[in-house]
Structure 1
Amino acid sequence: MATIWAAGAIAAILVLTMLVVSIGAAAATRHRAESAADLAALAAAGAAVEGERVACEKARWVSDRMGVELRSCRLDGWDARIEVVAVPSGVLSGFGPAKARARAGPVEQHVNGGRTVVRTR
């Protein structure tokens, strides 16, 4: 009887371990997508002066290196707006991709009574 209980406990621990590992892998995929979107937006904003085509090429270069798909890239004035998709590997691929969006561009600074106020557009 003790063997059955021990086998059941081991099976429960294995299931719990797999669940924790899967949740960790999903979180890592989401973080990778968010980081790639942020960095791609910064790269595109840095090249905005060269035009949308060049800016989006820079964003694509970053997203390719980070292992995500660049879904959209556009310049809105000096602001770069990026959307990327990261597909989780292994068993998690059936749950769908992690999507992330980011915006990067200049900020406006105003001095208000000795305090610096930074406003994003």
Structure 2
Amino acid sequence: MAGAATTVGVLAVSATLAVGFVAAGAAAASSARAAGAADAAALAAADTASGLVPGEPCVSAADVAARNGASLTACRIDGLIATVEVSIDVGPLDARARARAGPPPGSP
């Protein structure tokens, strides 16, 4: 009887750890997706702000974010520098990321 209780306990702990590792892996993957979407959206906004692409910078950023499965939650243009924030819904939570793009420091 003691062996059965030990076995059930070990299985319960193993299942709990497995669920925890899967949840942590899903959170890491969602975070990486959000970071990639934010980078792409910031680059699109900066390209539009510099005149390389026609249109409105924040509209371009929102379009690129949506194509990457994210939604644009903030967009700020300061000269040629674009700062954006995106979020991706992950069940009851959301993964957020922020990115900034523009010309390199010290460029004319």
Please give the TM-score of this superposition, normalised by the length of structure 1.
0.76
Q: How many residues align?
A: 105
Match of 1:75 in 2: 77
Matched, 1:14 2:11: no
Match of 1:36 in 2: 37
- Post-superposition Cα deviations, 1:86-116, rounded to whole Å, max 9, x if no partner, equal 2213xxx2xx3222111100114xxxxxxxx
- Post-superposition Cα deviations, 1:43-84, rounded to whole Å, max 9, x if no partner, equal 111111349962222211111112111011121000111011
- DSSP-derived class of the 1:106 partner: coil
Matched, 1:4 2:5: yes
Contact map agreement 2:48 2:55 (CA 8 A) in 1: no
Q: 1:99 to 1:69 in 2, by over 3 A?
A: same
- DSSP-derived class of the 2:90 partner: coil
In 2, the alpha carbon distance for the partners of 1:52 and 1:83 equals 21
In 2, the alpha carbon distance for the partners of 1:52 and 1:33 equals 25
- DSSP-derived class of the 1:98 partner: strand
Matched, 1:48 2:49: yes
Contact map agreement 1:52 1:75 (CA 8 A) in 2: no
Contiguous gaps of at least 5 residues in structure 2: none
Moved more, 17-26 or 56-65: 56-65
Matched, 1:101 2:98: yes
RMSD of equivalent CA atoms: 2.1
**Following TM superposition, where does structure 1 have runs of at least 4 consecutive aligned residues deviating by more than 6 angstroms?**
none
Contact map agreement 1:73 1:83 (CA 8 A) in 2: yes
Please give the TM-score of this superposition, normalised by the length of structure 2.
0.84
Contiguous gaps of at least 5 residues in structure 1: 109-118
